[in-house]
Amino acid sequence: MESKDSLRANVLRSLKTYHQVAPMELYCYCLTAAGQVTFVLLQTWFTGRIINDLVHIVSSKTGMTHKIVFDLGVLIGSSIAEQLCWALLTYYERRAYHKWSRRNYFAFLGKTSQLTLGQFENKELRQELNVLWQEGYAWKPINFAQEMLYLFHSGLRMAVTFVILVSLLPLLIPILLLASVPSLLVEKRAADIKWGLWSGHGDDSQTFWALSLLLYNRDNVMEITPQGSRDYLLTKADRMITRFFSSQVRVLRGFLRQILASRLFEGVVVGGINIWLVSRVITTKGAFSIGQYSIYAGIVQQFQNSTGTMYKSVVNLLDLNHFMTIYYHFLDSESPLKQPDKPVRLSHKDPLSIEFKDVTFRYPGAAKPIFTKLNLQIKPGDHLAIVGENGAGKSTLIKLLLRFYDVDEGQVLINGHDIREVDLPSLYYHFGALFQTFNHYPLSLEENVVIGRTDRRAQEGMVTRALHLAGLGGLEDKLEYGAETILDPSFQKGTELSGGQWQKVALARAFYRDADVLILDEPTSAVDAKAEYEIFKKIKETQSDKTTIIVSHRFSTVRQADRIIVLDKGELQEDGTHRQLLKRDGLYKEMFEKQAAGYR
């Protein structure tokens, strides 16, 4: 159960955000709510007056008087005004909802896009992320904010009726308050239990959502269909969700008697108050009029409705508070990569020199380090290839160079500066990186290329050049809508590309970036060896004045590099040209000959 401090902090923060996102809607909602309460009380009061007017007219057999005409006018006007208030409340609520939705999308997706690889691999943070995604990060914060306004609305109505009852029938206040307490306690306990249902099943919820995404994704279905695993996966997903819904039903069944008993208790108390009011009308013989009964009974009903609505809002806030605590904790989570107070900003004009100096690094939670006292220098203009068995640390080297992680010991130096002291945007300006797993943007062909350097105005000639370097020269002419064709078949102007074409588009993106340092980490696994050879031949010809770092298993590509380093068990084993390494009769030669044998 969350503490009162947590609820208070979440309410204040959400209220502040509401004021920032939709200030006009917030003020207008509160003012309109006050108007609605006023008009409801006017209706209650003037209904009682009209009843007395009617009793007087009937008993005295007189005609309509100015008094009843005035009372009817106020009653009708108040009724119309109340309906208008409800329409305005809905309008302001919907306006705020849209503004909050936009803000939540921006805040949540902005945060997820800034997470480091280490944060994505943090189990606790990952579970928070899954909860937020599954439970509705876009709309639950809005619901929490709206419940605060509902609470204000019902609280205002209760406060006004409370003041009236204190002046008219003060003894009824504690009776009415106590009558609603059992319902509050029952619903609060039920809310706490319902929230914990998913977490109580451990990994069941994670399994359900993971399987549901698999069954939704086109590429996954391509494997699922021929292997005949669809029914198995559906059954397993159904088993996971059935446990959840069965738990929900058990909770509802367990609390049904308590809820019915608490509601019955409230009804009996209010019924007893009405009987007492009716008895006063009868026994006082006119001193307590029928109109007064109507007013008092109406105010009692208003008070009970407002307390019930207010308690419901409190319960909903307490329920949503669990989610909001996770939501704000996620938004406030700090990156493990600490940023310097006065970062070193690299010049866009100066080429980069790179040095790994006595670097030791292990992944969070790993038993053994990937690197121990690694030393490596990469000079401006180097054409470097990195080879090694799986797990040797090839991709890890790239991740440290891009500061996806910080080293445990030693330094990664950029132009003599510790990378931890360097301004990251100015660092990334110098890098163009393409990995084996790359993004398929649902954008046009041109946008898929120019997104590689969004800080530069798109130029048609540069897009064409980048596509040509990647081996996609003339692709625009083959597409129905040219460079404006969206690379997603689900769009009206969309099309489908092959895996090899997609890799070349991603490669064109890296070429368009035109960075000082081009990093290619197994980027051409979906193209044949001949196409890869031609691509890297063009890279060497066109990037001769720039640094190129290539990770590849194909030695037909690797041998073109001016310098090749061999990693083995986290250590730099060999360093030299293709010919030099073959003469050393070491690991490189062994790997090369094994691959060459496969082509004989």
Percent share of the chain, pLDDT over 70: 89
Six token digits for residue 53: 């007017």
Question: What is the pLDDT at residue 148?
Answer: 92
Question: What is the pLDDT at residue 414?
Answer: 95
- Determine the straight-line distance between the first and last CA of the chain, rounded to whole angstroms: 68
Q: Is the pLDDT of residue 275 over 80?
A: yes
* Mean pLDDT lowest among 105-119, 174-188, 387-401: 174-188
Question: What is the pLDDT at residue 367?
Answer: 84
What average pLDDT does the chain have?
83
Q: Which residue has the higher pLDDT, 55 or 98?
A: 98
Mean pLDDT of 128-134: 81
pLDDT in tens, 448-482: 998 888 887 766 688 888 888 888 888 888 888 88
**Facing residues of 571 across strands?**
568
Asked if 370 contacts 405 with a C-beta cutoff of 8 angstroms, the reply is no
pLDDT in tens, 41-90: 888 888 888 887 787 777 766 656 677 888 888 889 999 999 999 999 99
**Highest mean pLDDT: which range of 124-138, 238-252, 473-487, 542-556:** 473-487
In 3D space, the residue among 513, 511, 479, 470 whose CA is nearest the CA of residue 497 turns out to be 479
pLDDT in tens, 191-212: 555 555 545 445 566 677 677 7
Question: What is the pLDDT at residue 80?
Answer: 93
Question: What is the pLDDT at residue 1?
Answer: 42
Mean pLDDT of 9-35: 93
Mean pLDDT of 93-112: 88
Mean pLDDT of 136-142: 87
Mean pLDDT of 395-424: 93
Asked if 544 contacts 550 with a C-beta cutoff of 8 angstroms, the reply is no
Q: How confident is the model at residue 237 (pLDDT cuts 50, 70, 90)?
A: confident
Residues 6+ away with beta carbon under 8 Å from 38: none
Question: What is the pLDDT at residue 503?
Answer: 84
Q: Is the pLDDT of residue 244 over 70?
A: no
pLDDT in tens, 495-537: 988 888 888 898 888 888 888 999 988 766 656 667 677 777 7
* Euclidean distance between CA atoms 98 and 379, whole angstroms: 52
pLDDT in tens, 337-355: 888 889 999 998 888 999 9
**Highest mean pLDDT: which range of 295-304, 307-316, 501-510:** 501-510
* Euclidean distance between CA atoms 272 and 304, whole angstroms: 13
**Residue 433: in which H helix or E strand, if any?**
strand 431-435
Q: How confident is the model at residue 10 (pLDDT cuts 50, 70, 90)?
A: very high
Question: What is the pLDDT at residue 240?
Answer: 75
Question: What is the pLDDT at residue 545?
Answer: 81
* Euclidean distance between CA atoms 495 and 486, whole angstroms: 6
Residues 6+ away with beta carbon under 8 Å from 419: 403, 411, 412, 413, 427
The one-letter amino acid code at 450 reads V
Percent share of the chain, pLDDT over 90: 26
**Facing residues of 214 across strands?**
none
Q: What is the CA radius of gyration of the chain?
A: 35
* Euclidean distance between CA atoms 498 and 329, whole angstroms: 41
Residue in the block written with tokens 């109505």: 157
**Helix-strand-coil percent breakdown of the chain, rounded to 5?**
65, 10, 25
Q: Which residue has the higher pLDDT, 186 or 138?
A: 138
Count of beta carbons in the 10 Å neighbourhood of residue 79: 16
